[in-house]
Amino acid sequence: MEKGTGSPAAGGSCPQKNAEILSSQYGINLFLAGLLLTFAWAVHAVGISKSHLLSYLITLMLIQLLWMLWYLCRSCTQRRLIRDKDTHAGARWLKCGITLFAVITLILDSFKIGYYIDFSNCLSPTEGIFPVTHAAHTILQVYFLWCHAKDIIQSFKTLERFGVIHSVFTNLLLWTNGVLTESKHQLNEHKERLITLGFGNITIVLDDHAPQCNCTTTTLCSIFSQGIYYLYPFNIEYHILASTMLYVLWKNIGRKVEHHQQHKTPFKFHGITVGMIFGLIVLTSTIAVVVVYLIQIGRSKIKSELALTMFYLHAIFVLALMCTAGVVALLIYRLEDRSLDNSKNPARKLDAELLVGTAAGSWLLSWGSILAIICAQAHPKYTWFNLPYSVLVIIEKYIQNLFIIESIHREQEKANDDIKTLRIVTISRGSTLSLTPSYKEIYNGRAARDIGELPCLVSSSICARESDGGGGANEETSQGNSPVMRSASEFSFYSRSSVADNKRRILKNIAAFLFLCNLSLWIPPAFGCRPEYDNGLEEIVFGFEPWIIVVNLAMPFSIFYRMHSAASLFEVNCKT
């Protein structure tokens, strides 16, 4: 009845808030139902089997496929509907990363199909349908993200919201499923090691270890079943990345953006050689340590202890280096006082929240280790390395988060650069009147769009120029009279410029180094180095079952943290 009196904007915003809550609650329920199915499968609930869980996941994926097809068709036919793009969302390197992970996920799917064919006698049909659906889902989703990750949807908002949030939580469930499979595998390996080391007192049951029937082609079977677990970490990263990208898409629906051109900042290898070299050293040494660790652990008590000692010493060294690098970067930031960009940016906000949120996973594990070391009755020598390791893990993430979040909030340096160029010209020529055209050219060209951020520097130099120009009747004489002053200015400028350049180079190197370090530190937990299991200390203090629950809950976030911080540091490197 009163509908007519409302303004159009108001009429639009009310259903939108509703659609937001409606869809998010739908998504949460979808996720919770799936989570409980997964949980039920994990605890071997009566009457719930793996095929129930897989059927649920297949249904969700098919619904998402249909929605994506509808969206793609609609956006092809009605191109004019989606005009706004969020320049911050779906960066190119993020798309490349997700494509890489998706390709490996497709290999994983083909392995699973092969595995199903080999064991088809004793596996339910869902185990064959699942990888096929998953492969189709992966291909279409990557295509969808390449084309539409930057969209700001303005039409059919309610339906779009449901579709996008459905996709977000479908990917999160697939991530949960991957994480659980991986955890079960790790736990089985850990139990096998305990059997080898002769711990008979723990009731050891291997979980979902192998199918109950024989394989048709033996060599292929072992390749498939072994290979799957080396590919899982990439599959896990793929799903979590996809769900964050889709979440940003969801947050952007119906948003109003101010159009400001973002200059593309391509990645350059130039000038980060030192950081790259140190980073590559860390990367190769980490790979070597992981290989040795996985070979040695669980062979015998002495070999295990040696492997653990090696792992801890290496990690302590790397983490100490990373802490130092982070502190240096933060000190440089404290020296130069630049304003922060506080404009609305869902992609960046999510990045910052994910960094702190997922770091909490590994902090939890570290506090567990610290508590265990303090409270344990017996301390074998190698367990003492665990204390500095755990403390450093906490401090390193603390510092690194500060560095990354400050970096992604800093405004682009372009404005300052322009001022410098301007000064070079102004000062080196010495005469103000003669250079006015070139000054104007630069000013109008690049600095104009950043005018809001140069409050005093530019205006003061303009004032200086104008007052010079005003009294510029005796131009020739003043030009002749000031060689000393000029060279002093030149010197002060060049030193300032070179200091700023040096700072920037150091920051770029630090970002590159930390990027490679984070990539390195992703490898050990993702591929099954679990010192939290293997050193035995926490298991004794907390008990076998409780500690395994803590590790399995916290570890996925800890692993994701490394990949996510690496991605953020790549962005920092490009921006600096």
Q: Which of residues 409-428 bind a second copy (CB under 8 A)?
A: 409
**Residue 346: exposure state from Cβ atoms within 10 A (0-12, 13-18, ≥19):** middle
Q: Largest Cα–Cα distance of the chain, in whole Å? A: 100
Q: Which of residues 491-510 bind a second copy (CB under 8 A)?
A: 496, 499-500
What is the three-class DSSP state of 408?
helix
Q: Which of residues 339-398 bind a second copy (CB under 8 A)?
A: 339-340, 342, 352, 356, 359-360, 363-364, 367-368, 370-371, 375-377, 394, 398
Residue closer to a second copy by CB (options 48, 62) is: 48
**Token reading at 350:** 């999510």
Applying CB under 8 A, which of residues 325, 405, 563, 566 lies at the interface with a second copy? 405
Angle between helices 346-375 and 386-409 (to 10 degrees): 170
- Interatomic CA distance for residues 547 and 552, integer angstroms: 9
What is the three-class DSSP state of 151?
strand
**Of the candidates 446, 462, 564, the residue with the CA atom closest to the CA atom of residue 514:** 564
Q: Is residue 174 close enough to count as binding a second copy by CB under 8 A? A: no
**Token reading at 258:** 């101010």
**Of the candidates 250, 254, 224, the residue with the CA atom closest to the CA atom of residue 172:** 250
Residue 405 C-beta: closest distance to a second copy, Å: 5
Applying CB under 8 A, which of residues 323, 457, 506, 574 lies at the interface with a second copy? 457
Q: Is residue 327 close enough to count as binding a second copy by CB under 8 A? A: no
The binding track of 281-320 with respect to a second copy, each residue x by CB under 8 A or -, is: ----------------------------------------
**Token reading at 128:** 């064959």
Residue 394 C-beta: closest distance to a second copy, Å: 7
- The size of the interface with a second copy (CB under 8 A), counted in residues, is 72
Q: Is residue 328 close enough to count as binding a second copy by CB under 8 A? A: no
Residue 463 C-beta: closest distance to a second copy, Å: 15
**Token reading at 285:** 């040494």
Applying CB under 8 A, which of residues 125, 380, 445, 455 lies at the interface with a second copy? 455
Residue 364 C-beta: closest distance to a second copy, Å: 5
Angle between helices 92-118 and 218-252 (to 10 degrees): 140
Residue 375 C-beta: closest distance to a second copy, Å: 4
Residue closer to a second copy by CB (options 49, 99) is: 49
Applying CB under 8 A, which of residues 406, 413, 468, 475 lies at the interface with a second copy? 406
Q: Is residue 440 close enough to count as binding a second copy by CB under 8 A? A: no
**Residue 121: exposure state from Cβ atoms within 10 A (0-12, 13-18, ≥19):** exposed
The binding track of 527-566 with respect to a second copy, each residue x by CB under 8 A or -, is: -------------xxxx--x---x----------------
Q: Is residue 2 close enough to count as binding a second copy by CB under 8 A? A: yes
The piece of 133-141, 168-176, 400-408, 473-481 that touches a second copy (CB under 8 A) is 400-408
Q: Which of residues 191-210 bind a second copy (CB under 8 A)?
A: none
Q: Which of residues 99-128 bind a second copy (CB under 8 A)?
A: none
Angle between helices 218-252 and 126-148 (to 10 degrees): 40
Which residues, in sequence order, are bridge partners of residue 410? 340
Residue 446 C-beta: closest distance to a second copy, Å: 19
- Interatomic CA distance for residues 524 and 378, integer angstroms: 27
Q: Which of residues 28-87 bind a second copy (CB under 8 A)?
A: 28-29, 32-33, 35-37, 39-40, 43-48
Alpha helices in 430-482 (DSSP H): 436-442, 457-470, 475-481
**Of the candidates 40, 214, 227, the residue with the CA atom closest to the CA atom of residue 123:** 214
∠ CA(568), CA(571), CA(575), 5° rounding? 140
